[in-house]
A = this chain, B = another copy of it.
């Protein structure tokens, strides 16, 4: 029942669905850490086998999720703590081989659509150093620093090109060691919006992100390691409606007041229930998303928190 009409870019939510359904997934290793003092929960999920990847519907690799229920509040000092934690997690996934690194940060998404503007606005605030190092040499900053460059490829309706085409072109020209891709994600639950950061070494996969990138951005397609950092800022409209309807059906089955209903629905198998829900879903919902009214404030805060995390990681 789980994958029907439902979409999430969070590996954490995919796994939760399995847990709800009491299904065990082989080939996926999970570790949890909890920092009591700042109420940050870190879940590291490693998809180790092809079977695990198939079950999860996500490529093999490491998915780290940082959850902080207070992430969506105004406290500046608290955001600094999240940035420090984020920097630590990014470094965990960075290629170890050489120092200093040449890093390209790609801010994916559409700057003109508020919940999709996270990527572009993170790039607005990162410390760009590559051009200075290229002009003045590696001691331009007094010490050896990483060469950071940034790109905002825009979306197809604005450029007529895939993000992948623009990013791959820039990589071919400038040969960075690693790419960091920042993107706004779709979650399944509204509770996660603006409160969760996912960091993964698997890059961006086709169909993920608020705007559904057609082609992926990964080591496979770009030739260099790609670390993707995403924050869920929307829920697909079809997902939210479908989920609530399934809850309604379930409530009817369980509600003692509706016993005769329960009998009727029991006559339907899961597939038939899906069918029923699907028929009622307006096809227009597939082109729509759900987002909080104060998403502008969340995006402003999150873009600082993420850019600060990157600045700490690469300083």
CA distance A260 to B248 in the complex (A): 17
CA distance A247 to B242 in the complex (A): 12
- Whether the pair A152, B150 counts as a contact (CB closer than 8 A) is no
Chain A contact residues (Cβ within 8 angstroms of B): what range? 35 or more
Q: A240-B237, A260-B263, A291-B291 are in contact. Are A247 and B280 (CB under 8 A)?
A: yes
A128 interfacial contact with B, CB 8 Å: yes
Proximity string of chain A (261-303) to chain B, C-beta cutoff 8 Å, 1 when within and 0 when not: 1111101100000001101111011011111111111001000
CB distance from A156 to the nearest CB of B (A): 4
Candidates B127, B150, B173; contact of A168 at CB < 8 Å:
B173
Interface-lining segment among A29-37, A59-67, A159-167 = A159-167
A131 interfacial contact with B, CB 8 Å: yes
Within the oligomer, what is the number of copies of this chain? 4
Candidates B124, B149, B260; contact of A161 at CB < 8 Å:
B149
A147 interfacial contact with B, CB 8 Å: yes
Interface-lining segment among A91-99, A108-116, A200-208 = A108-116
- Whether the pair B170, A172 counts as a contact (CB closer than 8 A) is no
A241 interfacial contact with B, CB 8 Å: yes
- Whether the pair B291, A289 counts as a contact (CB closer than 8 A) is yes
Q: A152-B154, A173-B169, A240-B237 are in contact. Are A290 and B287 (CB under 8 A)?
A: no
A-B contact pairs, 24 of them (CB 8 A): A110-B296, A128-B158, A129-B160, A130-B160, A130-B161, A131-B161, A150-B160, A151-B161, A151-B166, A161-B173, A165-B170, A166-B170, A166-B173, A168-B173, A169-B172, A190-B282, A237-B290, A244-B281, A244-B282, A247-B280, A248-B276, A262-B264, A287-B294, A288-B290
